[in-house]
Chain A
């Protein structure tokens, strides 16, 4: 389609004769690329369809029972209840956010505003890259040895594990956003005699905030769906436990894992409904992140 065809030129016959197989190959390859896109859509649609079709009926059967009742102790008994898991997911993810987001933003501030291209900043950046590659199951065992082994099961242990997973992500995305703040803004503040910390807190951070919030929310969405690190730290409660620091808790992802392994239909039903709840939760957080990104684009 991109070959030029000049019908006036005597060469035009040659040009037109040759492309026949070349354009066929071209069309074939482009067709294959399009097919790849369709191929990606298939599992996404299939997974979401299964979750919606099998989960909706259970989750909203006697609204709001599924979201408020406790989890049946005998898993083969049918009936609602994922309330404690929803509370647990919110506790664990919320705790992780409170730990990882402030620390991550502070770390990013150090990297961009203080460290720059210095040796220590480069080391930290390198280590943050390494840390994003640590498998979540390894992070879970680390927190088990550090916390759960000494203090027992609690939502806080899970929060620690998720915070470790979120920290390098928040640092990375926040540093990128700080890089987008124009240096003139800082210079203007310095010219007024403002100290560096005040400049950062009152000028630089507000300017970068929508982007930082968006990046952090994406990290939260990913963390909310994590399962492996919670297996070692949170335990398996079936009743509400609003205490962040004491006693076993539970989470939606842990419940899905446990019930998916069960051979009882009732347990599997609850797994689908819990999956629906978890997917909705992560999608809402992702959507919020998108809204902040849109605001950022609007400002520019």
Chain B
């Protein structure tokens, strides 16, 4: 700022560029605001007490109870988390604490490769291979497995970042006391990165809840059932939107948009909590 004061006069081009950059940055705020406003306005007629409490979803009767889909979203994400968390933690610990340095890069590339495969390809594999040849059918469990595989790269890379903030002195102290590598991890690494790991898992959860296409292909598109049987066909909020949009008319579309608004609110809440946890734990470890 001081430097620009020293210069004789401000060029118009300089000011124009500043304005352009400002507008581009403001676009993010504008888009988010527009998403909230336009979608809520369009979905408003569909919202009501029954939307969140009823289990009847029938376009023919104009009944829109989203409870089964909310249940499906929560259930499949829970399965995904149960699969992804131990695996991601194991991989992140292996890469950061156990693997020799020359093995780190290829391992990270392997995990990154998993993130590059498009979700529709996972869905295709899930519906034509996993559900048919392993006796799982199109079900909550199949969807949970596919979603779990898809969020492994996200959780792993975040967990790696968090774990790597553990001060070397903490780890060396544990080793100097005669701890084995696992005891060192349990005594120094895990307590230090606990908060950040919780955040990483929650970011994975947010991603699993919003994942659409893979879930839409393998979940089975059952209407209106709430069950804990993992092998039963089910449905989730994003899957319903993707599968029913093509044949939807006015009020049906409004109901689907209402589902999207509800999904938007849930995933944003989960993401915000996760980000704040990760950032707080990162800041604390940097300060320590």
| Contact surface of A with B, Cβ cutoff 8 Å | 1-4, 15, 19, 22-23, 25-26, 29-30, 32-37, 39-41, 43-44, 46-48, 50-51, 103-104, 106-107, 109-111, 113-115, 120-121, 123-124, 127-139, 141-142, 145-146, 164, 167-168, 171, 190, 193, 195-198, 200-201, 221-222, 224-228, 231-232, 253, 256-257, 260-261, 268, 271-272, 275, 278-279, 282-283, 286
Q: Are A37 and B27 in touch, CB under 8 angstroms?
A: no
- Contact between A141 and B39 (Cβ–Cβ < 8 Å)? yes
The interface residues of chain A, by DSSP majority, are classed as helix
- B87 vs chain A, min Cβ distance (A): 5
7 contacts between A and B (CB under 8 A): A32-B90, A40-B111, A47-B117, A106-B20, A124-B26, A256-B120, A275-B121
Residue contact B28 to A168, C-beta cutoff 8 Å: yes
Beyond known contacts A22-B180, A40-B156, A104-B24: 14 more, CB 8 A cutoff = A3-B178, A44-B113, A47-B122, A110-B21, A110-B25, A114-B18, A121-B25, A138-B267, A195-B13, A196-B17, A225-B120, A257-B217, A272-B124, A272-B128
**Shortest beta-carbon distance, B237 to chain A, in Å?**
9
- Determine whether B49 belongs to the interface, using a CB cutoff of 8 Å to chain A: no
Contacts of B87 in A (CB 8 A): 36, 39-40
Task: Identify the closest chain A residue to B179 (Cβ).
Answer: A2
- The yes or no answer to B152 lying at the interface (CB within 8 A) is yes
Shortest C-beta distance, A5 to chain B (Å), equals: 10
A127 CB to nearest chain B CB (Å): 5
> Is B107 part of the contact surface with A, judged by Cβ < 8 Å?
yes
Given A124-B29, A197-B13, A260-B124: A34 and B210 interface contact (C-beta under 8 Å) = no
CB distance from A237 to the nearest CB of B (A): 15
Residue contact A137 to B242, C-beta cutoff 8 Å: yes
Please give the residue numbers on chain B whose beta carbons come within 8 Å of chain A beta carbons, in ascending order: 3-4, 7, 10-11, 13-14, 16-18, 20-29, 31-32, 34-35, 38-39, 42, 86-91, 93-95, 98, 107, 110-111, 113-114, 116-125, 127-129, 149, 152, 156, 175, 178-185, 203, 206, 209-213, 216-217, 238, 241-242, 245-246, 256-257, 260, 263-264, 267-268, 270-272, 275
Q: Are B206 and A113 in contact (CB under 8 A)?
A: no
Which of these, A50, A123, A198, contacts B129 with CB under 8 Å? A50
**B174's closest neighbor in chain A, by CB?**
A2
Main secondary structure of the interface of B (DSSP, over half): helix
A176–B98 alpha-carbon span in the complex (Å) = 29
Residue of B26, B120, B180, B260 contacting most chain A CB atoms (<10 Å): B120
Which one of B119, B128, B180, B203 contacts A26 once the chains associate, using CB atoms below 8 Å?
B180
Given A131-B28, A195-B14, the answer on whether A37 and B94 have CB atoms closer than 8 Å is yes
